[in-house]
Amino acid sequence: MTLTIESRVLEVEVAHNVRHLGGYTTASGRSTSSHIIRSAGLHRLTSNGMAVLAERGVTTVVDLRSKAERERDQTPPLGHVGIASIGAPVFDVDASPEGLGKDFAGYAPVYRSMLDTGRDAYRTLFQTIAVAPGGVLFHCSAGKDRTGIASALLLGLAGVPEDIIVQDYSLSEALLAPLLPDWLPRIRERGLTEAQARGMLASRPDAMEHTLLHIADRWGGPEGYMRNIGMPQSLIDELRARLIE
């Protein structure tokens, strides 16, 4: 049974777009596991929020942001609640919505670029999920783009249908709405209008549809992409097993 968005979204003080990947029905008729979680940035996280993640069984956080983003919006230390942190930047530059600014070329080409520049980052994430002793949370700035690509690859490997992967991606726009007032001043500094800012926070289905088609055409699907970035088949099999209940 596919879970509703209400049962998938996690209330974490204070983080946005936090939701696990569980409850999706795979091609084999089994369900995806809920111990893998995606999120926007964790720099606002309170002690209560940290406790929620620890109680959910999270033992590792993988940060897909650039060094500049990590330094500007620093995630508080998590070691005291038993959570290890791993940096795995998809880009070397600030690729948050405000960081892209006028260089934003639309999400379909940006996502194609992420798949190439983020090879090492995504390999680190997938290997971590495959061998971590507990749950894994991965995030970027908005939890929509770098995180969205990772989620799509993971769900695809698990055997979730593409239309469901697209629906999962499209949920981010509504969940990020509370962040718009915070992001608007930063984006205006880059010379963008509010309408452009809203567009950068959008998660329109066609962006992911084009991306999934690109992954299929170039690598034959998520598993082919993972082999291409250097993951051995044995580790891919372990990863798939961790994604399915």
Residue 219 lies in a domain: yes
Residue 205 lies in a domain: yes
Of the candidates 150, 139, 168, 151, the residue with the CA atom closest to the CA atom of residue 5: 168
Residue 243 lies in a domain: no
* Cβ-based neighbour number of residue 1 at 10 Å: 7
Residue 245 lies in a domain: no
Residue 94 belongs to domain with CATH number: 3.90.190.10
Does the pLDDT value for residue 19 go beyond 70?
yes
Residue 162 lies in a domain: yes
Residue 244 lies in a domain: no
Residue 97: per-residue pLDDT: 58
Residue 186 lies in a domain: yes
Name the band, by pLDDT with cuts 50, 70 and 90, for residue 200: confident
Residue 126: per-residue pLDDT: 98
Residue 160: per-residue pLDDT: 97
**Rg for the chain, CA atoms, rounded:** 17
Query: Residue 75: which domain range?
Result: 5-237
Cα(153)–Cα(4) distance, integer angstroms: 21
Q: Rounded mean pLDDT of 59-82?
A: 96
Name the band, by pLDDT with cuts 50, 70 and 90, for residue 98: low
Does the pLDDT value for residue 96 go beyond 80?
no
- The total domain count for the chain is 1
Residue 131 lies in a domain: yes
Residue 114 amino acid letter? M
What is the model's pTM? 0.92
Residue 84: per-residue pLDDT: 98
- How does strand 36-39 pair with strand 19-20? antiparallel
